[in-house]
A and B are shown apart, each in its own frame.
Chain A
Amino acid sequence: MDLSQIYREHYRSLVRFLYRRIGDQARAEDLAQEAFVRAIEHQPARPRAWLFTVAANLARDEGRRASVRRRHLTLLKAEAEARPPEPGPEVALERRETVLRVQAALSRLAERDREALLLWEEGFNYDEIAEVLGLSRGSIGTTLGRARTRLAAAYEELEHKGSGEDVAY
């Protein structure tokens, strides 16, 4: 399949996958473009699965730098608590907290579980998820079930505590 067509059809999906994975849109876009550059160089036979595999690897590398950001998040938490709510933007503030909470909940998942869930949300079927993650097809249902259960539980716990926590991707 023509890579330019893949680019048009799946670039945003790849950015979304990476954004959910690393929590930084600018970096997600950088990494998505890097994945396509590498696809041009390698001309993979199954470009969509290949692109998401490369993207997942790039995201893992990115995650190794997360400890620096985690340290900073403590400061951001204090800042979020100290920041006086401006008139009107309560909704925006609430949404931001929700986003941080989902990111924190997602970070509590095991890496494979998280990636399986994100791939499923990007429209990958069980065979494709198994190919990208190197798992057996029969284990994907279990993996997704575990990921969904833990994500929902982690979010509820964070919501109950009333704040997000350090994001460890």
Chain B
Amino acid sequence: MSHIDEGSLHAYLDGAATERERQEIAAHVAGCVECRKRLDRAASLSSRAAELLAELEPRSAQPPSWREIEERASARGGGAARRRLVRPSIAWAASIALAFGVGWLSSSYWAQLPAGPDALSPNNESRITGQDANEAQLQVRTSSEEDAVRTSAARPATEPEPPAVAASRGGATEGAPPPAAAPLEVSVPRRERAGELDDARAEPIVLPALAEQAATDRVAAAPAKARADEPALEREAALEKREQPAVRPEQVRIPIAEMLAQYEEPRDGAEEGAGTKFFAVQPEDAAVWLGSQLRTLPELHLKRVELGPGSAIPGGRAGLPAVKLIYADAAGSEIVLIQQLLGSAAPDEAPELSAATSAANSYRWTDGRYLLILQGSISADSLRALADRVR
């Protein structure tokens, strides 16, 4: 006599057997001691598995409203719908038009270059010198011109031209100085770009309302009150020396001094303290704001990167941006690596390692140019070990 197989026993217990199977199993078990034992064991295993899994109960958290989910889908779906509406024929036409545009711009560019020995006449000397000195910038500017053309074509006729684009175009075509103010600004990708990503793990870029306003206004020059902040000026000077990335039409440019000044001013009703002023950014943008390559914990899983004011971190320097790298350990606990580039103004002090006890342990140390803080709900020893792994 054959016994009941394991799968059928579990299906019987789970109520998934058909009526006929159920009757057959019941009849068999009634007369088979071995299968009865196996059935008891299967029932025990079933309840034990449920009991164990019940230990893995997530904390109760308020889910976002359905409207928020719909808005996210709408933001992404709108882009997808637009992409679907672009027919191949239109795409081809756009490509050809773009090719002509690039050709025309290239010819304009080459027409401005000196053509042979005549170009070395005294009248042209200053212009040639400027071109030699800014050769790389000219190449970038040509790319910016193409972007500006595309931006203008896509923009409604009534919409004013952004000052940054106008400055870029003027500098390239009318011999005006290169966009000297540009190094004072940092490009921050617009939030809509993140919404187009299919990757579910891509953290959206969340700019605070003040930053959005600054982006909308597109203020080319920082206000004088922000420039009075000495550390901010030093940061601007440092950024001036950096290679200026080409500006894409999807980007907005936000004066760094104004941004920082706004960060340092507490908003009405906003709670003071760490975390209240930080917002998520892409790592590459955080590095630009920090003014240096990010210090990281390469062995941990990076959840997100946040940017905020130095005044919001313990011992941080006001007027300089600080960056938080939020990692997750296997248990889901967060480990936060905060960093601030103090630059040449940093006190020349020996590396310092100190522990603070609060809800989460925290290590803070400096190495002359960097302020680094490691926070997490793990022991001081683990934090110390992690601190050694910061690269």
A interface residues, Cβ below 8 angstroms from B: 4, 7-8, 11-12, 15-16, 19-20, 23-31, 33-34, 36-38, 40-41, 58, 62, 65, 68-73, 75-76, 78-79, 82-83, 95-96, 98-100, 102-103, 105-106, 117-118, 120-121, 125-126, 138-149, 151-152, 155, 166-167
* B52 contacts A by Cβ under 8 Å: yes
| CB–CB B56/A103 < 8 A | yes
Shortest A89–chain B CB gap in Å is: 12
Name the residue among A15, A23, A29, A37 with the largest chain B CB count within 10 angstroms: A37
| CB–CB B73/A145 < 8 A | no
Which of B183-191, B328-336, B338-346 faces chain A? B328-336
* B112 contacts A by Cβ under 8 Å: no
| CB–CB B299/A71 < 8 A | yes
| CB–CB A28/B58 < 8 A | yes
Q: Choose one: B8, B58, B69; the contact of A25 (CB below 8 Å).
A: B58
Roughly how many angstroms separate A117 CA and B314 CA in the complex, as a whole number? 46
| CB–CB B6/A142 < 8 A | yes
Nearest 5 A-B pairs (CB), nearest first?
A142-B7, A141-B11, A141-B7, A40-B73, A34-B200
| CB–CB B14/A69 < 8 A | no
Q: Choose one: B46, B303, B381; the contact of A148 (CB below 8 Å).
A: B46
| CB–CB A16/B328 < 8 A | no
When distances are taken between beta carbons in the complex, the residues of chain A under 8 Å from B330 are: 23, 69-70, 72-73, 76, 103, 166-167
| CB–CB B303/A79 < 8 A | no
| CB–CB B69/A36 < 8 A | yes
Given contacts A26-B332, A37-B69, A76-B330, contact A20 B6 (CB under 8 A): no
| CB–CB A72/B332 < 8 A | no
When distances are taken between beta carbons in the complex, the residues of chain A under 8 Å from B6 are: 141-142, 145-146
When distances are taken between beta carbons in the complex, the residues of chain B under 8 Å from A151 are: 48-49, 52-53
Roughly how many angstroms separate A116 CA and B45 CA in the complex, as a whole number? 15
Contact with A along B15-53 (1 / 0, CB 8 A): 010000000000000000000000000100110111011
Q: Choose one: B7, B49, B80, B299; the contact of A139 (CB below 8 Å).
A: B7
Shortest B322–chain A CB gap in Å is: 22
Count residues on chain B whose CB falls below 8 Å from chain A CBs.
Answer: 50
How many contacts between A and B, using CB within 8 angstroms?
Answer: 171
| CB–CB A33/B61 < 8 A | no
Q: Nearest chain-B residue to A105 (Cβ)?
A: B52
Given contacts A26-B303, A79-B381, contact A142 B10 (CB under 8 A): yes
| CB–CB A58/B200 < 8 A | yes
Q: Nearest chain-A residue to B333 (Cβ)?
A: A76
With A20-B53, A36-B69, A99-B331 known, 20 other A-B pairs at CB within 8 A are A20-B56, A23-B332, A25-B58, A27-B332, A29-B61, A29-B63, A37-B69, A37-B76, A38-B73, A40-B77, A65-B301, A72-B301, A73-B329, A73-B330, A79-B378, A79-B381, A120-B14, A125-B16, A140-B16, A167-B330
Q: Nearest chain-A residue to B332 (Cβ)?
A: A24
| CB–CB B16/A141 < 8 A | yes
Shortest A26–chain B CB gap in Å is: 7
| CB–CB B42/A145 < 8 A | yes
Listed by A's residue number, 20 A-B pairs whose Cβ atoms lie within 8 Å are A12-B63, A23-B332, A27-B303, A29-B61, A30-B200, A34-B200, A40-B69, A40-B77, A41-B73, A62-B201, A72-B300, A76-B329, A99-B331, A121-B50, A126-B16, A138-B7, A140-B7, A142-B7, A151-B53, A166-B330
